[in-house]
């Protein structure tokens, strides 16, 4: 165990300088917005300079080959064919693009879970208010004992009216990896299409979209893939692509070109913007792959082991039980706060940790007991000692709340 912790520290100290993160902040929240390495940002700056030096040449001649190259490298990384992927700004845009493209009626049901990301739940509510479609919520227990409980909770809410299931691959609030491939298979047997919100999946866990088989899948590149902000993708099965339109209708809608599908033409160009985040995806993939001898596989396993070590330490320090098995965790984990925290507002706890201790960590409200969760992340720049420091800070806060703990 000591050797593993020493390795975590060695790796992190070696790689911290590759990011631009403020060294005075203990940054344990890679999951919210990611963090882009300096080398990748340098590539983006070169691309931006290239664009501004000759905008007409860039958008007229250079833009599309650069975009297609980025799409090709991303498709290879996530196990998809290039013609089935398009870039979008973020996973929420991907979810909205699908929901706004499909036609629902008052007899339809759209299935999701109580762990669904708030922005996407808002999109569902918007669709329901416009179409009359009913939103059905599968209640996934938390704490949870096994992935099978996810499958059982989802499938028991499927009816003959279920038109679509919107499911997280990795939940934002609770950090759970859902058994997505099994869920997709079960739902396909019931003739239910699937829209998977994989915001956290690319770069956290291995992905093969062909094997997963979802009708629609969207994921961020700016989180665990470490691309610049504003890079994400939408995958659509080929036989469904004619239905899906971008949120912005632009020149691709009536383009006379026949070398690309309408799906590609519409999403590739939605008006003038800065496409350089997309174009940096190959650099992000290659850069992160180069950090350890075992490439992405070793990096993902290293982050997984570090977050498990951090979770174990924090649970022991606070006297709480881990809320899920290790197999349901990737590079994020949540720690349920003891009852003494129930009356604390999540943002006040977040602000106290940052203002008093210089710790940036996600504090999450939950609708049931435990009512407050702390979500930690593990990326190459993190060390085991940072979780020790977080544990010390949480104990000091809890003692100030009146729930006395003694740090071991």
Q: Distance (Å, rounded) from C-alpha 149 to C-alpha 162?
A: 20
Are 376 and 368 within 8 A, CB to CB? no
Task: Parse the chain into domains and list their residue ranges.
Answer: 2-19+294-398, 41-286
Whether the pLDDT of residue 11 is over 90: the answer is no
Are 262 and 250 within 8 A, CB to CB? no
Decide which of 283 and 342 is more confident. 283
So what's the pLDDT on residue 300? Answer: 98
CA 76 to chain centre: 19
What CATH topology corresponds to 41-286? 3.40.640
Please confirm whether the linkage preceding 143 is cis (ω < 30° from 0): yes
- The CA radius of gyration of the chain, in Å to the nearest whole number, is 22
Question: Average pLDDT over the chain, rounded to whole?
Answer: 94
Q: Distance (Å, rounded) from C-alpha 43 to C-alpha 133?
A: 45
So what's the pLDDT on residue 1? Answer: 47
The model's pLDDT over 342-400, given as tens digits with 9 standing for 90+, comes to: 888 999 999 999 999 999 999 999 988 778 999 999 999 999 999 999 999 999 998 88
So what's the pLDDT on residue 243? Answer: 96
* DSSP assignment letter at 207: -
- SS3 label, residue 360: strand
Helix ranges (DSSP H) in 213-280: 262-268, 276-279
Q: Which CATH architecture has domain 2-19+294-398?
A: Alpha-Beta Complex (3.90)
Q: What is the mean pLDDT of residues 215-235?
A: 98
Whether the pLDDT of residue 9 is over 90: the answer is no
CA 150 to chain centre: 19
So what's the pLDDT on residue 349? Answer: 95
The model's pLDDT over 151-201, given as tens digits with 9 standing for 90+, comes to: 999 999 999 999 999 999 999 999 999 999 999 999 999 999 999 999 999
Whether the pLDDT of residue 408 is over 50: the answer is no
Whether the pLDDT of residue 405 is over 60: the answer is no
Q: Output b/e per residue, 33-44; b: 16+ Cβ within 10 A.
A: ebbbbebbbebb
Map tokens 């997505």 to a residue: 180
């Amino acid at each position: 165990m000591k050797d593993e912790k020493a390795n975590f520290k060695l790796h992190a100290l070696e790689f911290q300088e590759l990011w631009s993160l403020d060294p005075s902040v203990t940054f344990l929240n890679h999951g919210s917005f990611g963090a882009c390495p300096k080398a990748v940002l340098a590539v983006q700056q070169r691309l931006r300079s290239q664009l501004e030096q000759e905008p007409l040449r860039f958008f007229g001649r250079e833009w599309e080959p650069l975009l297609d190259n980025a799409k090709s490298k991303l498709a290879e990384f996530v196990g998809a064919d290039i013609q089935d992927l398009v870039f979008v700004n973020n996973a929420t845009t991907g979810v909205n693009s699908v929901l706004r493209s499909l036609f629902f009626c008052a007899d339809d049901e759209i299935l999701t879970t109580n762990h669904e990301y708030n922005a996407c739940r808002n999109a569902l509510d918007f669709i329901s208010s416009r179409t009359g479609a009913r939103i059905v919520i599968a209640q996934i227990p938390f704490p949870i004992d096994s992935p099978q409980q996810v499958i059982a909770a989802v499938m028991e809410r499927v009816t003959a009216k279920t038109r679509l299931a919107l499911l997280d691959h990795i939940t934002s609030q609770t950090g759970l990896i859902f058994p997505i491939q099994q869920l997709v298979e079960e739902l396909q047997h019931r003739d239910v299409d699937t829209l998977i919100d994989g915001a956290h999946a690319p770069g956290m866990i291995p992905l093969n979209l062909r094997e997963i088989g979802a009708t629609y899948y969207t994921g961020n590149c700016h989180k665990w893939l470490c691309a610049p902000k504003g890079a994400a993708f939408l995958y659509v099965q080929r036989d469904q692509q004619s239905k899906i339109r971008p949120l912005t209708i632009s020149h691709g809608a009536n383009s006379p070109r026949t070398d690309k599908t309408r799906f590609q033409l519409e999403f590739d160009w939605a008006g003038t913007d800065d496409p350089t985040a997309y174009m940096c995806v190959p650099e992000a993939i290659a850069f992160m792959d180069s950090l350890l001898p075992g490439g992405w596989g070793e990096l993902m396993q290293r982050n997984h082991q570090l977050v498990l070590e951090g979770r174990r330490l924090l649970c022991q320090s606070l006297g709480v039980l881990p809320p899920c098995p290790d197999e349901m965790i990737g590079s994020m984990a949540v720690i349920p706060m003891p009852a003494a925290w129930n009356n604390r507002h999540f943002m006040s706890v977040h602000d106290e940790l940052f203002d008093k201790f210089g710790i940036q960590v996600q504090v999450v409200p939950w609708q049931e007991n435990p009512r407050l969760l702390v979500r930690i992340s593990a990326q190459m720049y993190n060390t085991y000692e940072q979780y020790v420091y977080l544990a010390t800070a949480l104990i000091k806060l809890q003692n100030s709340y009146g729930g006395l703990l003694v740090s071991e």
